[in-house]
Structure 1
Amino acid sequence: MKKLFLLLGLGLLGAAPAATAQIYSPQEPLAHTYSIVARDPKTGEMAVAVQSHWFSVGTSVSWGEAGVGVVATQSFTNKSFGLRGLALMKQGKSAAETLKILLSDDAGREVRQVAILDAKGGVATHTGKKCITYAGHITGKDFSVQANMMLSDKVWPAMAKAFQEKAHLPLAERVLAALDAAEAQGGDIRGRQSAAILVVPGNSNKQPWNERLVDLRVDDHERPLKELRRLLTVQRAYEHMNNGDLAVEKNNMTLAMKEYSAAEQLQPNNLEMQYWHAITLANTGKVDDALKILQPVFKADNNWRILTERLPPVGLLTVSAADLKRILEVK
Protein backbone atom coordinates (compact mmCIF):
# COMPACT_ATOMS: atom_id res chain seq x y z
CA MET A 1 0.00 0.00 0.00
CA LYS A 2 2.84 2.45 0.85
CA LYS A 3 4.38 1.68 -2.54
CA LEU A 4 1.11 2.61 -4.25
CA PHE A 5 1.00 5.97 -2.49
CA LEU A 6 4.65 6.55 -3.41
CA LEU A 7 3.94 5.92 -7.08
CA LEU A 8 1.02 8.29 -6.94
CA GLY A 9 3.14 10.87 -5.21
CA LEU A 10 5.66 10.71 -8.06
CA GLY A 11 2.88 11.62 -10.47
CA LEU A 12 2.80 8.29 -12.32
CA LEU A 13 -0.94 8.58 -12.83
CA GLY A 14 -0.43 11.81 -14.71
CA ALA A 15 -1.34 14.25 -11.94
CA ALA A 16 0.98 17.18 -11.36
CA PRO A 17 3.59 16.25 -8.72
CA ALA A 18 3.01 19.45 -6.76
CA ALA A 19 -0.65 18.64 -6.29
CA THR A 20 -0.48 14.93 -5.54
CA ALA A 21 0.01 15.37 -1.82
CA GLN A 22 -3.41 16.98 -1.70
CA ILE A 23 -5.09 14.49 -4.04
CA TYR A 24 -3.90 11.15 -2.72
CA SER A 25 -3.45 10.39 0.93
CA PRO A 26 -3.88 7.43 3.30
CA GLN A 27 -6.97 9.24 4.63
CA GLU A 28 -8.71 8.78 1.28
CA PRO A 29 -9.72 5.10 1.03
CA LEU A 30 -8.94 3.21 -2.15
CA ALA A 31 -12.55 2.09 -2.48
CA HIS A 32 -12.29 0.35 -5.84
CA THR A 33 -15.71 -1.17 -6.00
CA TYR A 34 -19.11 -1.44 -7.62
CA SER A 35 -22.19 0.44 -6.47
CA ILE A 36 -25.67 1.59 -7.39
CA VAL A 37 -27.64 4.74 -6.68
CA ALA A 38 -31.36 4.42 -7.31
CA ARG A 39 -34.82 5.84 -6.67
CA ASP A 40 -38.21 4.16 -6.40
CA PRO A 41 -40.61 6.37 -8.40
CA LYS A 42 -43.62 4.92 -6.54
CA THR A 43 -42.41 5.80 -3.02
CA GLY A 44 -39.74 8.39 -3.71
CA GLU A 45 -37.26 6.39 -1.63
CA MET A 46 -33.61 6.71 -2.63
CA ALA A 47 -30.84 4.18 -2.09
CA VAL A 48 -27.11 3.69 -2.44
CA ALA A 49 -25.60 0.22 -2.14
CA VAL A 50 -22.02 -0.94 -2.51
CA GLN A 51 -19.66 -3.93 -2.24
CA SER A 52 -15.85 -3.91 -2.30
CA HIS A 53 -12.68 -5.70 -1.31
CA TRP A 54 -11.96 -2.92 1.16
CA PHE A 55 -12.61 -2.66 4.87
CA SER A 56 -15.79 -0.81 5.91
CA VAL A 57 -16.58 0.48 2.43
CA GLY A 58 -19.91 1.94 3.58
CA THR A 59 -18.19 4.56 5.73
CA SER A 60 -16.58 6.22 2.71
CA VAL A 61 -18.68 5.46 -0.39
CA SER A 62 -22.32 5.81 0.73
CA TRP A 63 -24.02 9.14 1.49
CA GLY A 64 -27.68 10.12 1.58
CA GLU A 65 -30.25 12.48 3.04
CA ALA A 66 -34.04 12.31 3.01
CA GLY A 67 -35.66 14.65 0.54
CA VAL A 68 -32.27 15.54 -0.93
CA GLY A 69 -30.52 12.65 -2.67
CA VAL A 70 -27.80 10.03 -2.48
CA VAL A 71 -24.13 9.95 -3.47
CA ALA A 72 -21.64 7.17 -4.15
CA THR A 73 -18.00 8.28 -4.24
CA GLN A 74 -15.45 5.59 -5.07
CA SER A 75 -12.25 4.56 -6.86
CA PHE A 76 -9.77 7.00 -5.25
CA THR A 77 -12.53 8.15 -2.94
CA ASN A 78 -13.10 11.82 -2.23
CA LYS A 79 -15.29 11.62 0.87
CA SER A 80 -15.99 15.35 0.74
CA PHE A 81 -18.11 14.65 -2.35
CA GLY A 82 -20.64 13.01 -0.04
CA LEU A 83 -21.38 15.89 2.32
CA ARG A 84 -20.65 18.61 -0.23
CA GLY A 85 -22.84 16.91 -2.81
CA LEU A 86 -25.77 16.64 -0.43
CA ALA A 87 -25.32 20.26 0.63
CA LEU A 88 -25.41 21.45 -2.98
CA MET A 89 -28.56 19.46 -3.74
CA LYS A 90 -30.13 20.80 -0.56
CA GLN A 91 -29.54 24.26 -2.00
CA GLY A 92 -31.58 23.25 -5.05
CA LYS A 93 -28.85 22.07 -7.40
CA SER A 94 -29.66 19.12 -9.63
CA ALA A 95 -27.55 15.98 -9.66
CA ALA A 96 -25.88 17.12 -12.88
CA GLU A 97 -25.15 20.61 -11.55
CA THR A 98 -23.81 19.15 -8.32
CA LEU A 99 -21.45 16.77 -10.09
CA LYS A 100 -20.12 19.54 -12.31
CA ILE A 101 -19.33 21.73 -9.30
CA LEU A 102 -17.66 18.91 -7.36
CA LEU A 103 -15.40 17.97 -10.26
CA SER A 104 -14.59 21.55 -11.28
CA ASP A 105 -11.90 22.04 -8.64
CA ASP A 106 -10.86 18.42 -8.08
CA ALA A 107 -7.31 17.84 -9.34
CA GLY A 108 -7.86 14.09 -8.94
CA ARG A 109 -11.03 13.87 -11.01
CA GLU A 110 -9.51 11.46 -13.54
CA VAL A 111 -9.07 8.80 -10.84
CA ARG A 112 -12.48 9.45 -9.28
CA GLN A 113 -15.73 7.65 -9.84
CA VAL A 114 -18.86 9.26 -8.46
CA ALA A 115 -22.61 8.88 -8.96
CA ILE A 116 -25.25 11.31 -7.72
CA LEU A 117 -29.03 10.98 -7.68
CA ASP A 118 -31.35 13.80 -6.61
CA ALA A 119 -34.83 13.62 -5.09
CA LYS A 120 -36.45 14.25 -8.47
CA GLY A 121 -34.76 11.22 -9.98
CA GLY A 122 -32.05 13.13 -11.81
CA VAL A 123 -28.83 11.14 -12.16
CA ALA A 124 -25.27 12.18 -12.96
CA THR A 125 -22.23 9.90 -13.05
CA HIS A 126 -18.52 10.34 -13.72
CA THR A 127 -15.88 7.69 -14.37
CA GLY A 128 -12.41 9.20 -14.58
CA LYS A 129 -10.21 8.23 -17.52
CA LYS A 130 -7.60 6.76 -15.16
CA CYS A 131 -9.92 4.57 -13.08
CA ILE A 132 -8.46 1.07 -13.05
CA THR A 133 -9.71 -1.35 -15.72
CA TYR A 134 -12.32 -2.59 -15.98
CA ALA A 135 -14.27 0.55 -15.16
CA GLY A 136 -17.46 2.12 -16.40
CA HIS A 137 -21.03 3.07 -15.64
CA ILE A 138 -24.56 2.93 -17.00
CA THR A 139 -27.26 5.44 -16.16
CA GLY A 140 -30.96 4.85 -16.64
CA LYS A 141 -34.28 6.18 -15.44
CA ASP A 142 -33.95 6.74 -11.67
CA PHE A 143 -30.65 4.84 -11.34
CA SER A 144 -26.97 4.59 -12.09
CA VAL A 145 -24.61 1.64 -11.72
CA GLN A 146 -20.84 2.14 -11.67
CA ALA A 147 -17.79 -0.01 -11.13
CA ASN A 148 -14.02 0.10 -11.28
CA MET A 149 -11.19 -2.45 -10.89
CA MET A 150 -13.60 -5.17 -12.00
CA LEU A 151 -12.71 -8.63 -13.22
CA SER A 152 -14.56 -7.98 -16.49
CA ASP A 153 -16.56 -5.33 -18.30
CA LYS A 154 -19.76 -7.35 -17.85
CA VAL A 155 -20.23 -6.28 -14.22
CA TRP A 156 -22.09 -2.99 -14.51
CA PRO A 157 -24.29 -4.06 -17.46
CA ALA A 158 -25.40 -7.04 -15.35
CA MET A 159 -26.22 -4.68 -12.50
CA ALA A 160 -28.33 -2.45 -14.72
CA LYS A 161 -30.21 -5.42 -16.12
CA ALA A 162 -30.91 -6.90 -12.69
CA PHE A 163 -32.16 -3.59 -11.30
CA GLN A 164 -34.50 -3.04 -14.21
CA GLU A 165 -35.85 -6.58 -14.05
CA LYS A 166 -36.62 -6.42 -10.31
CA ALA A 167 -38.99 -3.46 -10.38
CA HIS A 168 -41.56 -5.42 -8.36
CA LEU A 169 -39.29 -5.58 -5.30
CA PRO A 170 -38.92 -2.99 -2.51
CA LEU A 171 -36.03 -0.65 -3.26
CA ALA A 172 -33.62 -2.17 -0.72
CA GLU A 173 -34.09 -5.69 -2.08
CA ARG A 174 -33.92 -4.35 -5.63
CA VAL A 175 -30.50 -2.72 -5.23
CA LEU A 176 -29.24 -5.83 -3.46
CA ALA A 177 -30.25 -7.82 -6.52
CA ALA A 178 -28.04 -5.51 -8.58
CA LEU A 179 -25.09 -6.17 -6.26
CA ASP A 180 -25.68 -9.91 -6.50
CA ALA A 181 -25.66 -9.64 -10.29
CA ALA A 182 -22.32 -7.85 -10.16
CA GLU A 183 -20.81 -10.55 -8.00
CA ALA A 184 -22.14 -13.24 -10.34
CA GLN A 185 -20.04 -11.65 -13.12
CA GLY A 186 -16.87 -11.77 -11.02
CA GLY A 187 -17.21 -8.41 -9.29
CA ASP A 188 -14.11 -6.79 -7.79
CA ILE A 189 -10.98 -8.44 -9.23
CA ARG A 190 -9.51 -8.59 -5.70
CA GLY A 191 -12.48 -10.45 -4.23
CA ARG A 192 -14.88 -9.23 -1.55
CA GLN A 193 -14.75 -7.91 2.00
CA SER A 194 -17.42 -5.37 2.90
CA ALA A 195 -20.79 -4.09 1.75
CA ALA A 196 -23.39 -1.51 2.72
CA ILE A 197 -26.88 -0.29 1.89
CA LEU A 198 -28.52 3.02 2.73
CA VAL A 199 -32.15 3.92 1.96
CA VAL A 200 -33.70 7.31 2.77
CA PRO A 201 -37.23 8.69 2.20
CA GLY A 202 -38.01 10.84 -0.79
CA ASN A 203 -39.33 13.58 1.49
CA SER A 204 -38.01 14.84 4.80
CA ASN A 205 -40.21 15.00 7.89
CA LYS A 206 -37.68 17.33 9.53
CA GLN A 207 -36.69 14.55 11.91
CA PRO A 208 -33.28 13.46 10.57
CA TRP A 209 -32.88 10.97 13.41
CA ASN A 210 -35.81 9.02 11.93
CA GLU A 211 -34.98 9.37 8.26
CA ARG A 212 -32.82 6.35 7.47
CA LEU A 213 -35.19 3.60 6.42
CA VAL A 214 -32.33 1.14 5.94
CA ASP A 215 -28.78 1.74 7.15
CA LEU A 216 -26.83 -1.51 7.20
CA ARG A 217 -23.14 -2.25 6.90
CA VAL A 218 -21.00 -5.37 6.78
CA ASP A 219 -17.50 -4.10 7.46
CA ASP A 220 -15.49 -7.32 7.19
CA HIS A 221 -16.85 -10.68 6.06
CA GLU A 222 -15.97 -13.55 3.73
CA ARG A 223 -19.37 -13.23 2.03
CA PRO A 224 -20.51 -9.66 2.67
CA LEU A 225 -23.50 -9.68 0.32
CA LYS A 226 -24.94 -12.80 1.91
CA GLU A 227 -24.48 -11.26 5.34
CA LEU A 228 -25.99 -7.96 4.20
CA ARG A 229 -29.07 -9.78 2.93
CA ARG A 230 -29.34 -11.63 6.26
CA LEU A 231 -29.23 -8.31 8.13
CA LEU A 232 -31.91 -6.86 5.87
CA THR A 233 -34.12 -9.86 6.65
CA VAL A 234 -33.58 -9.26 10.37
CA GLN A 235 -34.54 -5.61 9.91
CA ARG A 236 -37.69 -6.55 8.04
CA ALA A 237 -38.62 -8.88 10.89
CA TYR A 238 -38.19 -6.12 13.47
CA GLU A 239 -40.25 -3.79 11.30
CA HIS A 240 -43.09 -6.29 11.63
CA MET A 241 -42.51 -6.38 15.41
CA ASN A 242 -42.69 -2.59 15.59
CA ASN A 243 -45.87 -2.61 13.50
CA GLY A 244 -47.29 -5.18 15.90
CA ASP A 245 -46.48 -3.01 18.89
CA LEU A 246 -48.14 -0.03 17.18
CA ALA A 247 -51.23 -2.13 16.49
CA VAL A 248 -51.37 -3.09 20.18
CA GLU A 249 -51.28 0.59 21.12
CA LYS A 250 -54.28 1.12 18.85
CA ASN A 251 -56.00 -1.95 20.30
CA ASN A 252 -56.00 -3.68 16.92
CA MET A 253 -55.07 -7.12 18.20
CA THR A 254 -55.88 -8.90 14.95
CA LEU A 255 -53.33 -6.80 13.11
CA ALA A 256 -50.85 -7.13 15.99
CA MET A 257 -50.97 -10.92 15.87
CA LYS A 258 -50.57 -10.86 12.09
CA GLU A 259 -47.49 -8.64 12.33
CA TYR A 260 -45.92 -10.69 15.13
CA SER A 261 -46.45 -13.88 13.16
CA ALA A 262 -44.86 -12.31 10.08
CA ALA A 263 -41.83 -11.34 12.17
CA GLU A 264 -41.45 -14.87 13.52
CA GLN A 265 -41.66 -16.36 10.05
CA LEU A 266 -38.64 -14.27 9.07
CA GLN A 267 -36.80 -14.99 12.32
CA PRO A 268 -38.09 -18.36 13.60
CA ASN A 269 -35.30 -18.77 16.15
CA ASN A 270 -35.54 -15.32 17.68
CA LEU A 271 -36.65 -15.88 21.29
CA GLU A 272 -37.40 -12.23 21.94
CA MET A 273 -39.91 -12.03 19.12
CA GLN A 274 -41.65 -15.14 20.42
CA TYR A 275 -41.57 -13.80 23.96
CA TRP A 276 -43.26 -10.46 23.25
CA HIS A 277 -45.81 -12.18 21.04
CA ALA A 278 -46.70 -14.34 24.05
CA ILE A 279 -46.83 -11.39 26.43
CA THR A 280 -49.24 -9.62 24.10
CA LEU A 281 -51.44 -12.71 24.00
CA ALA A 282 -51.44 -12.87 27.81
CA ASN A 283 -52.37 -9.20 28.08
CA THR A 284 -55.38 -9.81 25.84
CA GLY A 285 -56.64 -12.66 28.00
CA LYS A 286 -55.24 -15.49 25.87
CA VAL A 287 -53.06 -16.89 28.61
CA ASP A 288 -53.31 -20.52 27.45
CA ASP A 289 -52.03 -19.51 24.01
CA ALA A 290 -49.27 -17.48 25.65
CA LEU A 291 -48.17 -20.47 27.73
CA LYS A 292 -47.68 -22.59 24.60
CA ILE A 293 -45.17 -20.02 23.32
CA LEU A 294 -43.51 -19.25 26.63
CA GLN A 295 -42.81 -22.87 27.59
CA PRO A 296 -40.07 -23.44 24.98
CA VAL A 297 -38.79 -19.87 25.41
CA PHE A 298 -38.28 -20.36 29.15
CA LYS A 299 -36.72 -23.76 28.55
CA ALA A 300 -34.24 -22.26 26.12
CA ASP A 301 -33.29 -19.38 28.42
CA ASN A 302 -34.62 -18.99 31.95
CA ASN A 303 -33.76 -15.29 31.97
CA TRP A 304 -37.00 -14.69 30.08
CA ARG A 305 -38.89 -16.16 33.04
CA ILE A 306 -37.00 -13.80 35.37
CA LEU A 307 -37.80 -10.85 33.13
CA THR A 308 -41.49 -11.77 33.24
CA GLU A 309 -41.56 -11.18 37.00
CA ARG A 310 -40.39 -7.63 36.39
CA LEU A 311 -43.08 -6.69 33.88
CA PRO A 312 -46.20 -6.26 36.09
CA PRO A 313 -44.75 -3.40 38.19
CA VAL A 314 -44.19 -1.31 35.07
CA GLY A 315 -47.50 -2.21 33.44
CA LEU A 316 -46.15 -4.37 30.63
CA LEU A 317 -47.89 -7.52 31.86
CA THR A 318 -51.44 -6.95 33.07
CA VAL A 319 -52.69 -10.36 34.16
CA SER A 320 -54.23 -11.54 37.41
CA ALA A 321 -52.03 -12.85 40.20
CA ALA A 322 -53.29 -16.35 39.45
CA ASP A 323 -52.42 -16.10 35.77
CA LEU A 324 -49.02 -14.64 36.58
CA LYS A 325 -48.35 -17.64 38.80
CA ARG A 326 -49.34 -19.97 35.95
CA ILE A 327 -47.00 -18.19 33.59
CA LEU A 328 -44.03 -18.23 35.96
CA GLU A 329 -44.47 -21.89 36.78
CA VAL A 330 -44.82 -23.15 33.24
CA LYS A 331 -42.38 -26.02 32.58
Structure 2
Amino acid sequence: MTFSLVGRCARTGQLGAAVTTSSLAVGSRCSFARAGVGAALTQHRTDPRLGPCALDLLARGFSAAEAMKTIVAETPYRDWRQLALIDAAGRTAVFSGAHVRAERGEAQGRDCAAIANIVRSATIPQAMVESFERAPDRPLAQRLVEALAAGEEAGGEFVPVTSAALIVVDRESFPYVDLRVDDHATPIAELARLWSAYRPEADAYVVRAVDPERAVPPPGMVAGKV
Protein backbone atom coordinates (compact mmCIF):
# COMPACT_ATOMS: atom_id res chain seq x y z
CA MET A 1 0.00 0.00 0.00
CA THR A 2 2.82 2.34 -0.98
CA PHE A 3 4.12 3.91 -4.16
CA SER A 4 7.38 5.78 -4.50
CA LEU A 5 10.21 6.95 -6.72
CA VAL A 6 13.94 7.57 -6.53
CA GLY A 7 15.50 10.06 -8.93
CA ARG A 8 18.55 12.01 -9.98
CA CYS A 9 18.96 15.36 -11.69
CA ALA A 10 21.57 14.93 -14.41
CA ARG A 11 22.06 18.71 -14.56
CA THR A 12 22.79 19.35 -10.85
CA GLY A 13 23.71 15.90 -9.53
CA GLN A 14 20.99 16.14 -6.88
CA LEU A 15 19.52 12.84 -5.67
CA GLY A 16 16.25 12.17 -3.92
CA ALA A 17 13.11 10.19 -3.30
CA ALA A 18 9.39 10.73 -2.85
CA VAL A 19 6.92 8.31 -1.28
CA THR A 20 3.29 8.14 -0.21
CA THR A 21 1.12 5.63 1.63
CA SER A 22 -2.10 5.18 3.60
CA SER A 23 -0.31 4.79 6.94
CA LEU A 24 1.41 7.41 9.07
CA ALA A 25 5.00 8.64 9.02
CA VAL A 26 6.12 7.13 5.73
CA GLY A 27 9.03 9.56 5.53
CA SER A 28 10.57 8.26 8.74
CA ARG A 29 10.69 4.67 7.51
CA CYS A 30 10.96 4.40 3.76
CA SER A 31 13.06 7.06 2.00
CA PHE A 32 16.78 7.73 2.36
CA ALA A 33 19.36 9.78 0.44
CA ARG A 34 22.99 10.77 0.76
CA ALA A 35 24.72 13.55 -1.20
CA GLY A 36 27.06 12.29 -3.91
CA VAL A 37 26.11 8.70 -3.13
CA GLY A 38 22.53 7.82 -3.98
CA ALA A 39 18.96 7.38 -2.79
CA ALA A 40 17.08 4.34 -1.51
CA LEU A 41 13.53 3.20 -0.85
CA THR A 42 12.42 0.32 1.36
CA GLN A 43 8.74 -0.63 1.69
CA HIS A 44 6.18 -3.46 2.19
CA ARG A 45 6.81 -4.99 5.61
CA THR A 46 9.31 -2.17 5.74
CA ASP A 47 12.76 -2.61 7.24
CA PRO A 48 14.18 0.93 7.66
CA ARG A 49 17.65 -0.50 8.23
CA LEU A 50 17.94 -1.48 4.58
CA GLY A 51 18.05 2.09 3.24
CA PRO A 52 21.18 3.16 5.15
CA CYS A 53 22.80 -0.22 4.45
CA ALA A 54 22.26 0.28 0.73
CA LEU A 55 23.70 3.79 0.85
CA ASP A 56 26.76 2.51 2.72
CA LEU A 57 27.38 0.04 -0.11
CA LEU A 58 26.99 2.75 -2.74
CA ALA A 59 29.45 4.92 -0.79
CA ARG A 60 31.96 2.07 -0.99
CA GLY A 61 31.75 2.17 -4.79
CA PHE A 62 29.08 -0.44 -5.47
CA SER A 63 26.77 0.28 -8.40
CA ALA A 64 23.03 0.31 -7.74
CA ALA A 65 22.73 -3.20 -9.18
CA GLU A 66 25.65 -4.51 -7.12
CA ALA A 67 24.33 -2.94 -3.94
CA MET A 68 20.86 -4.37 -4.54
CA LYS A 69 22.26 -7.84 -5.18
CA THR A 70 24.21 -7.69 -1.92
CA ILE A 71 21.29 -6.37 0.15
CA VAL A 72 18.91 -9.00 -1.20
CA ALA A 73 21.41 -11.81 -0.64
CA GLU A 74 22.06 -10.78 2.96
CA THR A 75 18.46 -9.99 3.98
CA PRO A 76 16.82 -12.98 5.70
CA TYR A 77 13.23 -11.82 5.04
CA ARG A 78 13.85 -10.70 1.45
CA ASP A 79 10.56 -12.18 0.21
CA TRP A 80 8.66 -9.51 2.18
CA ARG A 81 10.68 -6.53 0.96
CA GLN A 82 10.30 -4.11 -1.92
CA LEU A 83 13.30 -1.92 -2.68
CA ALA A 84 14.57 0.68 -5.13
CA LEU A 85 18.04 2.25 -5.48
CA ILE A 86 19.71 4.92 -7.56
CA ASP A 87 23.42 5.69 -7.50
CA ALA A 88 25.28 8.92 -8.19
CA ALA A 89 25.67 8.01 -11.85
CA GLY A 90 21.92 7.58 -12.28
CA ARG A 91 21.99 3.79 -12.46
CA THR A 92 19.02 2.10 -10.82
CA ALA A 93 17.93 -1.24 -9.39
CA VAL A 94 14.60 -2.54 -8.08
CA PHE A 95 13.48 -5.62 -6.18
CA SER A 96 10.13 -7.08 -5.20
CA GLY A 97 10.12 -10.19 -3.01
CA ALA A 98 7.84 -13.13 -3.67
CA HIS A 99 5.48 -12.20 -0.82
CA VAL A 100 5.00 -8.55 -1.85
CA ARG A 101 1.27 -8.21 -2.35
CA ALA A 102 -0.48 -7.27 -5.58
CA GLU A 103 -1.15 -5.26 -7.38
CA ARG A 104 2.56 -4.54 -7.38
CA GLY A 105 4.87 -3.06 -9.95
CA GLU A 106 8.32 -1.78 -10.81
CA ALA A 107 9.65 0.55 -13.50
CA GLN A 108 13.03 2.00 -14.34
CA GLY A 109 13.71 5.00 -16.52
CA ARG A 110 16.29 7.64 -17.26
CA ASP A 111 17.75 8.65 -13.88
CA CYS A 112 14.80 7.19 -11.96
CA ALA A 113 13.06 4.07 -10.67
CA ALA A 114 9.60 3.56 -9.18
CA ILE A 115 7.98 0.80 -7.13
CA ALA A 116 4.48 0.14 -5.80
CA ASN A 117 2.59 -2.47 -3.79
CA ILE A 118 -1.06 -3.08 -2.85
CA VAL A 119 -2.21 -0.50 -5.39
CA ARG A 120 -5.01 -0.39 -7.95
CA SER A 121 -2.77 -0.90 -10.98
CA ALA A 122 0.62 -2.43 -11.67
CA THR A 123 1.16 0.35 -14.23
CA ILE A 124 1.50 3.03 -11.53
CA PRO A 125 5.33 2.87 -11.43
CA GLN A 126 5.51 3.34 -15.20
CA ALA A 127 3.22 6.36 -14.98
CA MET A 128 5.53 7.82 -12.35
CA VAL A 129 8.62 7.22 -14.46
CA GLU A 130 7.01 8.82 -17.50
CA SER A 131 6.09 11.87 -15.45
CA PHE A 132 9.62 12.17 -14.06
CA GLU A 133 11.21 11.90 -17.51
CA ARG A 134 8.88 14.48 -19.03
CA ALA A 135 10.52 17.62 -17.63
CA PRO A 136 14.26 17.12 -17.01
CA ASP A 137 14.91 20.86 -16.64
CA ARG A 138 12.59 21.28 -13.65
CA PRO A 139 13.97 21.08 -10.10
CA LEU A 140 14.39 17.50 -8.91
CA ALA A 141 12.06 18.06 -5.95
CA GLN A 142 9.29 19.22 -8.24
CA ARG A 143 9.73 16.26 -10.60
CA LEU A 144 9.55 13.83 -7.69
CA VAL A 145 6.37 15.34 -6.28
CA GLU A 146 4.79 15.47 -9.73
CA ALA A 147 5.63 11.78 -10.16
CA LEU A 148 3.72 10.98 -6.96
CA ALA A 149 0.74 12.87 -8.35
CA ALA A 150 0.99 10.87 -11.57
CA GLY A 151 0.94 7.65 -9.56
CA GLU A 152 -2.18 8.78 -7.75
CA GLU A 153 -3.83 9.71 -11.03
CA ALA A 154 -2.93 6.30 -12.49
CA GLY A 155 -4.91 4.55 -9.77
CA GLY A 156 -3.30 5.10 -6.41
CA GLU A 157 -4.12 2.87 -3.46
CA PHE A 158 -7.34 1.08 -2.61
CA VAL A 159 -7.80 3.45 0.33
CA PRO A 160 -6.84 7.12 0.53
CA VAL A 161 -3.20 7.94 1.16
CA THR A 162 -2.57 9.92 4.34
CA SER A 163 1.17 10.59 4.42
CA ALA A 164 3.83 11.63 1.91
CA ALA A 165 7.48 12.59 2.05
CA LEU A 166 10.12 14.22 -0.10
CA ILE A 167 13.88 14.17 0.40
CA VAL A 168 16.52 15.71 -1.87
CA VAL A 169 20.26 15.94 -1.24
CA ASP A 170 22.72 18.18 -3.05
CA ARG A 171 26.32 18.85 -1.99
CA GLU A 172 26.17 18.99 1.78
CA SER A 173 25.85 16.19 4.34
CA PHE A 174 22.39 17.45 5.32
CA PRO A 175 19.32 17.33 3.04
CA TYR A 176 18.63 20.16 0.63
CA VAL A 177 14.92 19.41 1.05
CA ASP A 178 13.27 17.20 3.68
CA LEU A 179 9.50 17.67 3.79
CA ARG A 180 6.88 15.38 5.33
CA VAL A 181 3.09 15.32 5.51
CA ASP A 182 1.20 13.10 7.97
CA ASP A 183 -2.47 12.42 8.72
CA HIS A 184 -3.68 14.59 5.85
CA ALA A 185 -6.65 14.14 3.54
CA THR A 186 -4.60 15.07 0.45
CA PRO A 187 -0.96 14.55 1.36
CA ILE A 188 0.46 14.67 -2.16
CA ALA A 189 -1.16 18.03 -2.88
CA GLU A 190 -0.01 19.27 0.51
CA LEU A 191 3.55 18.09 -0.20
CA ALA A 192 3.44 20.02 -3.48
CA ARG A 193 2.26 23.12 -1.60
CA LEU A 194 5.03 22.78 0.97
CA TRP A 195 7.66 22.42 -1.74
CA SER A 196 6.37 25.53 -3.51
CA ALA A 197 6.59 27.44 -0.22
CA TYR A 198 10.03 26.08 0.68
CA ARG A 199 11.61 26.39 -2.77
CA PRO A 200 12.48 30.12 -2.50
CA GLU A 201 14.15 29.52 0.87
CA ALA A 202 16.07 26.29 0.20
CA ASP A 203 19.33 27.86 -1.00
CA ALA A 204 19.27 30.41 1.82
CA TYR A 205 19.18 27.69 4.45
CA VAL A 206 22.25 26.06 2.89
CA VAL A 207 24.14 29.36 2.96
CA ARG A 208 23.16 29.88 6.62
CA ALA A 209 24.83 26.56 7.42
CA VAL A 210 28.02 26.79 5.36
CA ASP A 211 28.66 30.56 5.22
CA PRO A 212 26.61 32.33 7.91
CA GLU A 213 28.38 35.67 7.45
CA ARG A 214 27.01 35.83 3.90
CA ALA A 215 23.50 34.71 4.86
CA VAL A 216 20.49 36.85 4.14
CA PRO A 217 17.16 36.03 5.86
CA PRO A 218 14.72 34.30 3.49
CA PRO A 219 11.69 36.37 2.44
CA GLY A 220 9.38 37.03 5.37
CA MET A 221 11.83 35.77 7.97
CA VAL A 222 12.96 37.89 10.89
CA ALA A 223 16.75 38.23 10.97
CA GLY A 224 18.41 36.02 13.56
CA LYS A 225 15.74 33.33 13.70
CA VAL A 226 16.16 29.66 12.68
Q: TM-score, normalised by structure 2?
A: 0.88
Are residue 238 (structure 1) and residue 201 (structure 2) matched? yes
Residue 100 (structure 2) aligns with: 131
Are residue 229 (structure 1) and residue 192 (structure 2) matched? yes
Residue 110 (structure 1) aligns with: 79
Moved segments of 4+, more than 4 Å: 240-245
CA deviations 1:229-269 (Å, max 9, x no partner) are 11112212324766999xxx77xxxxx8xx97xx5xxxxxx
CA–CA distance in structure 2, aligned partners of residues 100 and 154 of structure 1: 24
Letter in 2 for 1:188: E
In structure 1, runs of 5+ residues without a counterpart are 1-31, 251-255, 264-271, 277-310, 312-331
Are residue 200 (structure 1) and residue 163 (structure 2) matched? no
Residue 167 (structure 1) aligns with: 136
CA–CA distance in structure 2, aligned partners of residues 100 and 240 of structure 1: 36
Are residue 64 (structure 1) and residue 27 (structure 2) matched? no
Residue 156 (structure 1) aligns with: 125
Are residue 97 (structure 1) and residue 66 (structure 2) matched? yes
1:138-153 residue pairs with structure 2 within 5 A? 138-153=107-122
1:1-331 residue pairs with structure 2 within 5 A? 32-201=1-170, 204-205=171-172, 208=173, 211-239=174-202, 263=219, 272-273=220-221
Higher-Rg structure is: 1
Letter in 2 for 1:79: P
Contact 2:110 2:133 in 1 (8 A): no
Letter in 2 for 1:220: D
Measured after TM superposition, the shift of residue 219 of structure 1 is: 2.0
> Which one has the bigger strand percentage?
2
Measured after TM superposition, the shift of residue 107 of structure 1 is: 2.8
CA–CA distance in structure 2, aligned partners of residues 243 and 43 of structure 1: 15
Measured after TM superposition, the shift of residue 169 of structure 1 is: 1.1
Contact 1:38 1:143 in 2 (8 A): yes
Measured after TM superposition, the shift of residue 182 of structure 1 is: 0.6
Contact 2:92 2:111 in 1 (8 A): yes
CA–CA distance in structure 1, aligned partners of residues 203 and 85 of structure 2: 32
**SS of residue matched to 1:175:** helix
Letter in 2 for 1:91: R
CA–CA distance in structure 2, aligned partners of residues 129 and 240 of structure 1: 43
**SS of residue matched to 1:150:** coil
CA–CA distance in structure 1, aligned partners of residues 84 and 203 of structure 2: 33
CA–CA distance in structure 2, aligned partners of residues 172 and 69 of structure 1: 15
Residue 13 (structure 1) aligns with: none
CA–CA distance in structure 1, aligned partners of residues 59 and 160 of structure 2: 36
Q: TM-score, normalised by structure 1?
A: 0.61
CA–CA distance in structure 1, aligned partners of residues 141 and 112 of structure 2: 13
Q: Are residues 102 and 244 of structure 1, via their aligned partners in 2, closer, same or farther at CA, if it must alter by over 3 Å?
A: closer
Identity over aligned pairs, percent: 35
**Structure of higher RCO (CA pairs closer than 8 Å, 6+ residues apart):** 2
Alpha-carbon RMSD across the aligned residues, in angstroms, is 2.4
CA deviations 1:1-51 (Å, max 9, x no partner) are xxxxxxxxxxxxxxxxxxxxxxxxxxxxxxx30000010111110011001
In structure 2, runs of 5+ residues without a counterpart are none
Q: How many pairs were matched up?
A: 219
CA–CA distance in structure 2, aligned partners of residues 46 and 87 of structure 1: 15
